[in-house]
A and B are shown apart, each in its own frame.
Chain A
Amino acid sequence: MNSCQRYRDLIEQYLDGMIGDAELAELRAHAQDCPSCREEFDRCVLLQETIRESFSSGMTTEQGAASVLARLAEQPDAGRGQSRLAPAWLAGRQTAVAAGILLAAGLLLGFALGRTSSVKPAEVPLPDRVSMSVADLQGTVLVRHEGSGVWQILTAESDVYLGDTFHSAAKAGFTLELKGESRIEVDQNSMLALTSYNGETQFFLEHGECTANLESPHGPFFISTPHGRVEALGTEFTVKVIDE
């Protein structure tokens, strides 16, 4: 056992995350020949793995980040608070970046104004399911049901409800298939909400880009934005909302 003491110490270092690559290779080589150390090492590896697996999130780290950034985009006040509270250690550098901060604040303010003038989803006790389905899903797309603060992962099987807001992260996108042949393709970095307007389901593009492909002929069809409504005159059109 004494000859194995060095390897028992290495196993402890492994558990503490303080083992170097060369030492780990040495430990693995020894464990192949020493049943006692192999058993001890295997148990420690299993301990780590079972804990990691048992506490793993249903969201990947990319999806988690997308969900937080989506909520940040909905809460422009959060951004303003942090620039006001900028710490002393950053103060000396602030002049140089003042223009950048002002620009960022301006963008956030613009976004806030856009939101306050937007049509808010109707207040309903229970969301109504709408006859749309999700298709062509790529990357991380999140959905938040009306009245909920939680962003969830959108899947091809997800039901779509009135009041839903969709957020597509970078390199992501999806399509909403409507009745008949009509469809709306939502591009990356976009936020689209399904709101109620005069009893009809309305598409509200908060930011980003979407393309509507409508069956012909089609009835009146609009996509609203913080800057106004766009009416479809033909069968295909693209709407883009940028923060400028």
Chain B
Amino acid sequence: MADELKQPAASDEQLVVATLRGNTPAFGRLVQRYWKMVFALALSRIKDRMEAEDIAQDSFLKAYARLGSLRNPSRFSGWLSKITLQQCTNVVRKDIRRRAVLGSQATPLTDLTAIPAYSSNPGLTEGQIQFVRQAVGQLPEKLQRLIVMRFMGELSAVQIAEQLGKRPGTVRVWLHRAYKILRKDLAPLIEEVGQ
């Protein structure tokens, strides 16, 4: 098992089992594999980059603590995405309570315009990044999650279906609905960037 874990293609299941046996670096491999997906899921709901990084870290910690309750280790990423979305919901609820106490002084977490954008790749301008995030943020939550799992989690439609316990055909239909909406909403940007 130790040699298998060193392979880049060690499966999620192998890494989960190794983690449960006390191999913490194996969990580090899982974090590396899904960091982008978890961060993007958080960012799609929370909008603030620092807050999203914090939620991403918290989500992995929660997953680590609850790993023993994961019934099917091969469905780690689907389970992890649920934990992340729950973390986001908790943060949003806390924010609503905080705003109720502070009144209008508090900045809502969902206020897109107040939040500086960040990209490790300077190809898009800050305005363009906000535009894309806004377009994804306006998708129904179910579709948002699929888009993030597909593009940031690097999972295929079939893998997403396995992770979420859905039929591949259903996931493909949902994904194509999301592509259609995004292509329409992002058409001006795609045109601009593509030139």
Contact = CB atoms under 8 A, between A and B. Distances in A.
Interface of A: 12, 15-18, 42-44, 46-62, 64-69, 71-72, 75, 78-79, 81-87, 89-90, 97, 100-101, 103-104, 149-151
A15 B179 contact: yes
B68 A83 contact: yes
Given A43-B190, A64-B56, A65-B31, A104 B22 contact: yes
SS class, residues of chain A in contact with chain B: helix
Given A68-B28, A82-B68, A150-B53, A56 B147 contact: no
Nearest to A51: B151
A53 B179 contact: no
Contacts, number: 188
B128 A71 contact: no
Contacts of A86: 20, 68
B67 A68 contact: no
Interface stretch (B81-89, B94-102, B106-114, B118-126): B118-126
Given A56-B36, A65-B32, A68-B61, 9 more contacts: A17-B156, A55-B151, A64-B31, A64-B53, A65-B31, A68-B57, A69-B25, A71-B57, A86-B68
Q: Which 4 A-B residue pairs are closest in the complex by CB-CB distance?
A: A85-B68, A104-B22, A17-B156, A64-B35
A64 B152 CA distance: 14
Contact of B190 (A46, A52, A59, A149): A46
14 contacts: A15-B176, A17-B155, A43-B190, A43-B194, A44-B179, A47-B179, A47-B186, A49-B123, A51-B147, A52-B152, A55-B136, A65-B31, A68-B31, A85-B66
A50 B40 contact: no
Contact of A58 (B49, B123, B128): B49
B159 to A, nearest CB: 8
Interface in B51-96: 52-54, 56-58, 60-61, 64-71, 73
Given A15-B179, A83-B22, A53 B119 contact: yes
Contacts of B61: 68, 71-72, 75, 78
Interface string B30-43: 01110110011001
